[in-house]
């Protein structure tokens, strides 16, 4: 009896799973990717705009050592307008990273009406 119940539940779960579809939106969607090449005074930020139904007037990264990175609290690295979707990155040099301090970064994309952020990625000086 237990096998029949497990079989029915399994079939129900597998037949009801569908691929996630991206719902059309009036703003871009962006991911923050892994931060690489972190040294005592530099790092490389990477992001990906994976949906763009509107003109992107600016994109880039915001990073900070004091909490939540946004336009009010962080160092903005603007990469300017972007056409369409795709990956982007920038190297930050001449930064002074402190030992044992945690830094936060996230990518952003800005349209005429919206600023959208990727997830926050934390890093620290090696």
Tens-place pLDDT, residues 64-117: 998 889 988 899 999 999 999 999 999 999 988 999 899 999 999 999 999 999
Cα dihedral across residues 68, 122, 61, 42: positive or negative: positive
What does DSSP say about strands 58-64 and 75-78: parallel, antiparallel, or unpaired?
A: antiparallel
Q: What is the CATH number of domain 25-124?
A: 2.60.40.10
pLDDT in tens, 23-51: 677 899 999 999 999 999 999 999 999 99
Q: How far apart are CA 20 and CA 105, in angstroms?
A: 27
**Distance between CA 114 and CA 120 in Å, rounded?**
18
């Amino acid at each position: 009896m237990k096998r029949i119940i497990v079989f029915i539940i399994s079939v129900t779960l597998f037949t009801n799973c569908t691929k996630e579809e991206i719902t059309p939106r009036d703003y871009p969607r962006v991911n923050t990717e892994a931060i690489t090449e972190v040294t005592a005074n530099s790092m490389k930020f990477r992001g990906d705009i994976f949906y763009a139904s509107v003109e992107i007037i600016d994109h880039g990264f915001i990073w900070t050592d004091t909490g939540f990175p946004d336009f009010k609290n962080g160092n903005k690295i603007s990469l300017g307008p972007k056409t369409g979707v795709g990956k982007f990155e920038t190297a930050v040099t001449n930064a002074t990273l402190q030992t044992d301090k945690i830094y936060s970064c996230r990518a952003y994309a800005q349209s005429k009406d919206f600023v959208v952020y990727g997830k926050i990625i934390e890093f620290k000086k090696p």
